[in-house]
Structure 1
Amino acid sequence: MSHRHFVKGPRHALIHALPLLVAGLTLGLLGMMLVGVSVGAASIPLDTVWKVIARHLGATSIVVDWSAGRDAIVWEVRLPRVILGAVIGASLSLVGAALQAVTRNTLADPHLLGISSGAAFGAIIALLHTGMFLGLATVPLLAFLGALASTALVVATARFAHATNASRLVLTGVAISFVVSSLGSLAIFLGDPRATHMVVFWMLGGLGLAQWTHLPYPLAALVVCGIYLMFNARRLNAMTLGDENATTLGISAERFRLVVFVVSALLTGAAVAFSGIISFVGLMVPHVVRFAVGGDYRRVLPLSALAGAIFLVGADMVSRIVIPPQDLPIGIITGLAGGLFFIGLMRTNGRIG
C-alpha cells in the first residue's frame, strides 16, 4: 500500500490546518496526562493534582490542604508514570512511521522487525543474569545493544537470503523476531525462578515501575532521535518512492535505511527497557495520521509522536481502572486495540479495492 494513497480524498484539506492540529493534539496530550494523574484505584480531584504539581514546581503560595499520601501518589507515582507513557508512546510511533517509510511497507513496526524482541532479550539478560553492574543504565544499555544486534541480524540475514527488497526485509524481521523471542524465553527459563515472575509481567508491557530517575534515558533518546528523523523527513518521503527514485534524488538508500534502523533500535531499546514490550502502537498510529493528513513525513512524524503519546497515556489509564487495585499489563490493552483496528482496516480496504 503506497503512502501516497493517504494524500488523496477530502481529508487532504486537513493538511492546511496542521498548526491547529499540532496545537490541538498538544493540548489534548496535556489534558490526558492531567486526567491520567487523577484517575486510578484512589481517585484524586483535578484541582488537587494541579496544586500538588504546582507546589513541587516551586509555587510556595499554595496552601497545602491535601494529605501526604495524596502528595506521594501524584508526584512520586502517577506523574512519572504518565510522562513515561507519553515519551514511550511518542517514541514507538516515530519508530513505526520511520520503518514504514524505509521499508515501504505499512505493516512494519519495531515488533514485527524484531527490534522489540532484541531489546527485550538484552533487558532480560540484565535483569536475570548480569545484574545491575552499571546501575540504572544497565537495563537500557543492554536493551539498546540487544535491539541493535537484532537489527544487524535482520540486515545480515536479508543479505544472505538475497531478501534486500522492502517487502522481504519485513518477512526477514518477522523470522528473526521469532528466533530472538525464543532466546529470550530460554534466558528466562535458565534464570532465577524467584525473579522470573517480574520479567514475565515486564514482557507484557507496563508503566508501573516508572520513577523520576528513569525518565532521562527514554526522554534523551526521544529528543535526539526525534530531531534526527524530523530533520530527515524529506529523505523519508523519497524512500517511500523506492530506492531507485531516492538514489536519483542524491540519497544513498541503503546507507540511509541502515541509519534509520540504528536510530529505531536506540528509540526502541530505551522504550522497552522501562516499559517492556508494547506492541501495535508503532503500527496503528502512523496509519491513522497518514489517513488524516496524507503521507508527507514533515507532517506524519510530529503528529504521530503526539498521537502516540496520547494513545499510550490513555491505554495506561484503562489498564489502571479495569481491575483495581491491580494494573492490567498495558500490552494487553494495546494488543486488543491493535487487533480490532486492523480488522476494521481490512474491512475498509476490502470495500475500496
Structure 2
Amino acid sequence: MEKYENFDDNIYSHIEREKKFNYLLILIFSVSLLLIIGISSTLGLMDISISEAYKIIIGKLLGIKSLVSGINETKVLVVWDVRLPRILAGAIVGSGLAVSGAVFQSILGNQLADPYTIGVSTGAAFGATIAIFLNLFFVSHLLPIMPFAFVFALLTLYIVTNISKSGGSISSSDVILSGIIISSILSAGISFLKTLAGEQVGAIVFWIMGSLSARSWTHIIISLPMVIVLITIIMLNVDELDIMALGKTEANNLGLDYEKKLKKYMIISSLLTATCVSISGVIGFVGLVVPHLVRMSISSRNRNVVLMSALLGGNILVIADNIARLSSSIEIPVGVFTTLLGGPFFMYIYIKRKRGITK
C-alpha cells in the first residue's frame, strides 16, 4: 500500500514540476517578446538608443508626456508611427498563424497541417488580391481588404472540407491534399489578376509575397482585437482539442460531437488566418513550424501548445522581419524569408512521418 502511495506522490510531484516549468517558459517567452519589441524599435538607419525607444513607447502608451519631451521629435515619429506598428503587426501575425497551425494540427491529427498547406492562407490571399485589383481599376472608394479575405478563407475551407470527405467524414490526409489542389488553382487565379494588373502589378506582388512594410496603427487597431478574441475562444475551450486529438471514435465515446467541434475550430482557425493574411499577405510555414517545435521540445498538451505557440510565433516573426529588412540594401519580404526556412522543415517533418508509417 505504501508503495502505491509513493507512486502517486511521485506522479503528483512530476505534474507540479511540469506546471512550474511551463509557467516559467511562458514568462520567459512573454518577457523576450517585450524585449524584442523594444530592441527592434532601435534597429534601422536612424540611431535610436534602447532607453529612448522604451521611453517613447511607454510615454505614448500611458500618455506620460515627460518621458517623451526631451527626445527629438523625428525619433519619436520614427519609433511610434513607423517602426512600432510594423513590429506589433509582426507579433500579431506570428501569434495568429502559430495558434491557427496548432489548432489545425490538433483537430486533424496531422503534423503537416497548417493554414498554408490546407489552402486557407491562399484563399484569404485570393480574396485580398481581388480587393486590391478592384481598388486599382474599378472603384472610386477603397474597398476594405479584410472582409474579402474572410469570405474567401471560409469559402476555401468549405470547398476543401467537402472535397476531402470520405464516407461522410473528413480525412486529415485528404484535407491537406485537397488544400494543395485548391491552393494551386487559387494561385493561378492570383497570377491571372497580376497579369491583368499590368504596370500596377507591384501593388499585388509585394503584398502576396508577405510583407509587414508600411503597416500603420489602423492595421493594429483592426487586427489586434480580432486575434485576441479568437485566441481567447480557443483557450477557453482548449481541453476539447485534447479530446479531439484522440480521434473521432474516442471523442464521440467521451461525449464530444466530433464533427460539430471540427467545423467550429476549422472556422475559428480560418478566421484567425484571414485576419493575419489581410494585414501581412501570405507568410508561410509559421503555422507549421512553431507548434511543431513546441510539441517536439516542450509539451503536447494543447493548453501549453496554444499559449506558447502564440508567444513563440510572435517572437519568431518579429525576429524574421528584422533579418529580412536589415540583411540587404533591398528589403526582402518576410514571407519569402519564412518560406525559405520553413520549406526544408516541412520536408523534414514529411520524411520523418513517412518513415514512422513504413516502420
Fold-level match, TM-score > 0.5?
yes
Residue 15 of structure 1, CA deviation: 4.9
Q: Which residue of 2 aligns with 1:124?
A: 129
Match of 1:298 among 298, 303, 311: 303
| Matched AA of 2:114 | D
Quick check: 1:165 aligned with 2:171?
yes
Residue 343 of structure 1, CA deviation: 5.7
- Change in 2 beyond 3 A, CA 1:137/1:253: farther
**1:73-152 map, 5 Å:** 73-129=78-134, 138-152=144-158
Q: Which residue of 2 aligns with 1:6?
A: none
Higher relative contact order (CA 8 A, sep 6+): 1
TM-score, normalisation: structure 1: 0.89
- Change in 2 beyond 3 A, CA 1:117/1:287: same
Aligned counterparts of 1:54 and 1:207: Cα–Cα separation in 2: 23
Residue 60 of structure 1, CA deviation: 2.3
Q: Secondary structure at the match of 1:111?
A: helix
Aligned counterparts of 2:141 and 2:274: Cα–Cα separation in 1: 17
Residue 41 of structure 1, CA deviation: 3.0
Aligned length: 342
Aligned counterparts of 2:277 and 2:152: Cα–Cα separation in 1: 11
Aligned counterparts of 1:13 and 1:33: Cα–Cα separation in 2: 30
Q: Which residue of 1 aligns with 2:258?
A: 253
Q: Which residue of 2 aligns with 1:45?
A: 49
Match of 1:341 among 341, 345, 349: 345
- Deviation string, structure 1 residues 240-291 (Cα, Å, up to 9, x no partner): 1111111111111111111111111211111111101000100000011111
Q: Which residue of 1 aligns with 2:9?
A: none
Aligned counterparts of 1:16 and 1:50: Cα–Cα separation in 2: 30
Quick check: 1:240 aligned with 2:245?
yes
- Change in 2 beyond 3 A, CA 1:167/1:41: same
Larger Rg: 1 or 2?
A: 2
Q: Which residue of 2 aligns with 1:5?
A: none
| Matched AA of 1:341 | F
Q: Percent identity?
A: 33
Quick check: 1:17 aligned with 2:12?
no
The answer to whether the 8 A contact 1:14-1:292 is kept is no
Residue 36 of structure 1, CA deviation: 1.1
Gaps of 5+ in 2: 1-13
RMSD: 2.6
TM-score, normalisation: structure 2: 0.88
- Change in 2 beyond 3 A, CA 1:63/1:186: closer
The answer to whether the 8 A contact 1:90-1:309 is kept is yes
Aligned counterparts of 2:325 and 2:300: Cα–Cα separation in 1: 34
